[in-house]
Amino acid sequence: MKPHFAAGKWNFANFQSPTYSTILMNYNTPPSYGQSQVTVGCVVKEGRVLFTGASPGTKVEHTEVKGDPENDWPEPGAVKFTWRGKTRDGKECTALLEGKLQRSDKVDVMGEVPKFVKQIVAGAAGTKPYIYQYTPKLILKMRIGGEEVEEEGQLFTEATFTS
């Protein structure tokens, strides 16, 4: 399946700290698939799955949009990742990562294709895929039952726009 048929845009997050690891995958389907938004995620503590979650409790929000004047994509300037779920023993859990983003890389997926071919593909298929990558240090805020924990770590995140 061609990626732009499965999703028009998506976000990935991978956070690593001394105690916690989190992963989140979010994608929006294109109009041909109803423009649905799907998000799944997982939080791991010291190598063991603490909880997993899916939409609507687990989500990603671009809380600030800088935009990209080169291609009109809504490049994020700040982001908020939220995970919600329950531990095996039934404790309610939430995890939150939020902060400003400074782009570390921008990938033009069709960058090696001649410009005239790129324009034909964009016009015919409606695709102009770009991947924006960020690697900020952020603080993970966890609530496990009534206990609150904060821990700094490294986030790798991507925001991708295709159609």
Using alpha carbons, list the distances in angstroms from residue 116 to 3, 68, 84, 112, 161.
21, 21, 46, 12, 20
What is the rounded average pLDDT of the residues 78-97? 95
Q: Which two tokens stand for residue 63?
A: 């809380």
Handedness of CA 66, 16, 22, 93 (dihedral sign): negative
pLDDT reported for residue 64: 97
Looking at domain 3-161, its CATH class is: mainly beta
In terms of average pLDDT, the best of 27-31, 53-57, 115-119 is 53-57
Could you tell me the pTM of the whole model? Answer: 0.86
